[in-house]
Amino acid sequence: MANLELPNRSSVVPAHHRQPLLSMRARRIVKLVLIYTLLIGLSIPFLLPFGWMIATSLKKSEDVFTYPPSFFPNSFEWRNYISGWTVLPFNTFLKNSLIVTIAAVCSSSRARRAPGKNACGPNGRNDVVRAR
């Protein structure tokens, strides 16, 4: 038989010994940048209505319904917040919202706890919503 010799392949490195294209740290950084870019891009449609609400609350009342609408007010009217707090019983609205929120949190925590455990008040009673 003929003596067949393979060509010298000492310059070829096996696949498991090759250096990765990007290091692990660089891959992690690229992955985080892509994730945060995606999250920020997807959050913009949800944040735009909130920004529009804040911008509209700072406009003069005659500037609210102008056409074409503008996102930023010509002049900031901080008095809108003061008049909104004083014209309506805003303290009552705030108190009622806090009572409902605390009651909802306490009742939901009672629902997930084992029977007999105290959730919000002594003896497992929900003392927050009791009328006074």
Q: How far apart are CA 41 and CA 65, in angstroms?
A: 29
Q: How far apart are CA 11 and CA 15, in angstroms?
A: 12
Can you give the pLDDT at residue 101? Answer: 92
Specify the pTM.
Answer: 0.49
Q: How far apart are CA 52 and CA 42, in angstroms?
A: 17
In the block, residue with structure tokens 């503008």: 70
Please work out, in degrees rounded to the nearest 5, the angle formed at the alpha carbon of residue 77 by the alpha carbons of 71 and 82: 130
Helix 90-112 / helix 79-87 crossing angle, nearest 10 deg: 80
Rounded alpha-carbon distances, angstroms, from residue 71 to 32, 36, 44, 47, 51: 32, 26, 15, 13, 9
Can you give the pLDDT at residue 27? Answer: 85
Can you give the pLDDT at residue 120? Answer: 55
Can you give the pLDDT at residue 1? Answer: 56
- Is there a contact between 71 and 52 (Cβ–Cβ < 8 Å)? yes
pLDDT (tens digit, 0 to 9) for every residue of the chain, 132 residues total?
566 666 565 566 566 666 666 778 888 899 999 999 999 999 999 999 999 999 888 888 778 887 887 888 878 888 888 888 888 888 899 999 999 999 888 877 665 655 555 555 555 555 555 544
